[in-house]
Amino acid sequence: MDFDPAANHGHVPVMRDRMAELLAPAVEAYGDAAVIVDGTLGAGGHTEHFLTVFPRARVIGVDRDPNALAQAGERLARFEDRFAPVQARFDAISQPILEGEGPAFDAVRERGVAGALFDLGVSSMQLDQPERGFAYKVDAPLDMRMDPSAGITAADVLNTYSHGDIARILKTYGDERFAGKIASAIVKEREREPFTTSGRLVELLYDTIPAASRRTGGHPAKRTFQALRVEVNGELEAVEQVVPVITELLGPGGRVVFMSYQSLEDKIIKSAFAELTASKTPPGLPIDLPGTAPEFASITNGAEKAPAEEIDLNPRAAPVRVRGIEKIDLPNSH
């Protein structure tokens, strides 16, 4: 495995080889008509690998962040029309993919998508751009929008949400046990002066979270920053909505794989996949009744994790949970 960060523009794609392995049966079966949708293009590491190991396949790379699309586009320029960029939130890809122009889009309209990958959460590239306000280790504007041209910022959330809503977000999206206490401190502090930069929020968190709790569980700001990012970008809503979108776009035998880095995302995927792979036949009958057989089959055994040697080399792989399904080629599906 190639873990040279320089070769990957400083960003190491998590479980890169395994992702290709999971999509390979479908991509190879589709031959020249194979199109992979990389729903979370980021720095383009997974896409670059797919275009290299599947020389007949094309990739439609989706990202809502115009900076990511521009940078990945430069990195992938050598693949010419085998790579097609799309700017969209990944749960809004149906229209741009079904109406796009070029060989990749033509192939999808004809045969459906052969493979799809969603590497959820914030990309390492965004975390590494201090001015975007995703990271708590540098003082930067509290923005956190993946698409910097749309929607509310993290500062807007801190300065306008009610005490109850701030506490709910911190508890639900950040699993923060001091959510209520932090929300009270935020409301009190913003009356003095609205929040604009991350440094002041980090300071407030240090002052609010008891010292004993700060010693364990990583940086005390980590959970609050995650919660704000999820809220600002509607991340969980996008994850819920993308499953029906991508499963509809898959062709017969097509595969989709999701990589989740936090339990809330994984829970949504696990429950959606459980429903898609379940038979609708009433329990107790020996065979599936017509029209009740599941349309999808699982291609992972539960949630797969990154191997220990990869986590040693790339700590960002530690929390990942991978789940994949395949669209069954039912006899009357053509």
State pLDDT tens for residues 29-78.
Answer: 999 999 999 999 988 999 999 999 999 999 999 998 888 899 999 999 99
Higher pLDDT, 281 or 182: 182
Residues 87-103 have pLDDT tens digits of 998 999 999 999 999 99
Residue 186 confidence class, pLDDT cut points 50, 70, 90: very high
What integer pLDDT is reported at residue 129 of this predicted model? 57
Domains of the chain: 16-124+235-327 (3.40.50.150), 130-232 (1.10.150.170)
Q: What Å distances lie between residue 233 and 73, 112, 144, 157, 238, CA to CA?
A: 23, 28, 8, 11, 9
86: its two tokens: 């799309």
Q: What pTM was computed for the model?
A: 0.84
On the question of pLDDT at 318 being above 70, the answer is yes
Per-residue HEC secondary structure of the chain comes to: CCCCCCCCCCCCCCCHHHHHHHHHHHHHHHHHHCEEEECCCCCCHHHHHHHHHCCCCEEEEEECCHHHHHHHHHHCHHHHHHEEEEECCHHHCHHHHHHCCCHHHHHHHHHCEEEEEEECCCCHHHHCCHHHCCCCCCCCECCCCCCCCCCCCHHHHHHHCCHHHHHHHHHHHHCCCCHHHHHHHHHHHHHHCCCCEHHHHHHHHHHHCCHHHHCCCCCCCHHHHHHHHHHHHCHHHHHHHHHHHHHHHEEEEEEEEEEECCHHHHHHHHHHHHHHCCCCCCCCCCCCCCCCCCCEEECCCCCECCCHHHHHHCHHHCCCEEEEEEECCCCCCC
On average, the pLDDT of the chain sits at 88
What integer pLDDT is reported at residue 280 of this predicted model? 83
On the question of pLDDT at 8 being above 90, the answer is no
The reply, when asked if residue 90 is annotated as ligand binding, is yes
Helix axes 45-53, 16-30, angle to 10 degrees: 50
The reply, when asked if residue 44 is annotated as ligand binding, is yes
What integer pLDDT is reported at residue 3 of this predicted model? 37
Q: What is the rounded average pLDDT of the residues 264-273?
A: 95
On the question of pLDDT at 331 being above 70, the answer is no
The reply, when asked if residue 129 is annotated as ligand binding, is no
Cβ neighbours, 10 Å, residue 322: 23
Q: For residues 138 and 131, give the distance between their C-alpha atoms in angstroms, rounded to a whole number.
A: 9
The reply, when asked if residue 133 is annotated as ligand binding, is no
Higher pLDDT, 140 or 180: 180
Residues 195-231 have pLDDT tens digits of 999 999 999 999 998 887 776 667 788 889 989 998 9
What integer pLDDT is reported at residue 333 of this predicted model? 46
What integer pLDDT is reported at residue 125 of this predicted model? 52
On the question of pLDDT at 146 being above 90, the answer is no
The reply, when asked if residue 63 is annotated as ligand binding, is yes
Instruction: For residue 83, list its beta bridge partners.
Output: 59
Residue 122 confidence class, pLDDT cut points 50, 70, 90: low
Pairing, β 58-63 against β 113-119: unpaired
The reply, when asked if residue 119 is annotated as ligand binding, is yes
What integer pLDDT is reported at residue 148 of this predicted model? 80
Environment class of 169 (CB within 10 Å of its CB; exposed 0-12, middle 13-18, buried 19+): buried
